[in-house]
Amino acid sequence: MKIEALFSSFSKKKIAVIGDIMLDRYIFGHVSRISPEYPVPVVDVSHETQRLGGAANVAVNIRAMGANTLLFGISGTDDNKEALSGLMKSHGLGTEHLFGDPERPTTCKTRILSQNHHIARIDYESRQDASQQAVSFIREHLESAIGSLDAIVLQDYNKGTLTDDLIRNTLKTASEHGVPVLVDPKEKSFFSYTGCTVFKPNLSEIAASLGMTLANNDDAVEKACMALQSKLACRDLVVTRSEKGMTVCNDRFTHIPASSLEVADVSGAGDTVIGILSLGVAAGLDIETSAKIANLAAATVCQEVGAVPVNPDKLIKACRNYFQG
């Protein structure tokens, strides 16, 4: 496999990401004392930063690899929307497919960290299903773009963007145009994605949705995959298994060990995986090779604190060592 040529081909692809868009805010500081008012730590703030999260982080990862990326979703009409829009533009993502709903807050997760350890998280969000107006907006914008797309990612965080109506219509539209659909699911709409191309749950999501206790060993995962694939009728299953890596299920099973790179923070690793998988599928790679590259990409972002996009140079180096070393 010519890695440089493959990565160069990614820049010719156009990927749509539809799902729950978030603003991630990080407050970094140091804890040296307990509050005299309540027995809680006092964080002396050193600096703050803002990043794109959720479906927006998927889009950032795809865009970082050079692909043309369209991001579809919902925000509020508050100050956090302005911050979100500014970050999107700074990453080369347009805001024309972002529906501003005055009845909802922009989803914002504020994480407080001391010496790179998470102390607390503050969430501003709505989990209500998107309004019919928002769903219609996304559907119309997707239908206008569908003819130029190489793949679609549906990124679900149970925040209401991916309603059953939007899921059903997206799968139908994609099927009519021969566009592959990759899904990163959550429990609420887990079985609404029947007929998708690639379905990427993690182990706990499978266990919860099948109503079973699931051990993290190959035999148990294979049995769960067969049960899940019979329900979903998807082409490929890619199951992320934390320290055990990944399992790919189609007409066979492929178990991919986790990378041995040092882990600082797993935040956003799943977003990176689905983003890289979408590029591999769009480029015509087999799912096993795509999953191996996605596994390496996740390992590189786990070396950083907070959700960060994949670094193409680091990923190329990791791929050289893995495939050619």
Q: What is the pLDDT of residues 118-128, one digit of tens each?
A: 899 999 999 99
Q: Across the chain, what does the average pLDDT equal?
A: 92
Per-residue confidence (pLDDT) for residue 105, from 0 to 100: 97
pLDDT at 299: 87
Decide which of 34 and 188 is more confident.
34
> Checking phi first, is residue 59 left (phi over 0); if not, alpha (psi -120 to 50) or beta?
alpha
Q: Which long-range contacts (CB under 8 A, 24 or more apart) does 307-310 make?
A: 307/24, 307/51, 307/52, 307/53, 307/57, 307/267, 307/268, 307/271, 308/51, 308/268, 309/57, 309/60, 309/61, 309/63, 309/64, 309/91, 309/272, 310/61, 310/64, 310/65, 310/272, 310/275, 310/276
Residues recognised as catalytic: 271
Q: In the chain, pLDDT over 70 holds for what percent of residues?
A: 95
275 within 8 A of 237, measured Cβ to Cβ: no
pLDDT at res. 262 = 60
Residue 306 near residue 51 (C-beta atoms within 8 A): yes
Classify the C-alpha dihedral 177-183-188-192 as positive or negative.
positive
> How much is the average pLDDT of 163-182?
97
Residues 293 and 278: their CA atoms lie apart, in Å, by 11
Residues 317, 319, 322, 325, Cα dihedral to 10°: -50
Residue 305, pLDDT above cutoff 60: no
pTM equals 0.93
pLDDT score for 170? 98
289's CB contacts (< 8 A; 6+ apart) are 1, 280
Pairing assessment for the beta strands 21-34 and 246-249 based on DSSP bridges = unpaired
Q: Residues 55-75: pLDDT tens digits?
A: 999 999 999 999 999 999 999
Domain ranges of the chain: 3-23+52-107+126-324
| CATH class, 3-23+52-107+126-324 region | alpha beta
pLDDT tens profile 35-55:
999 999 999 999 999 999 999
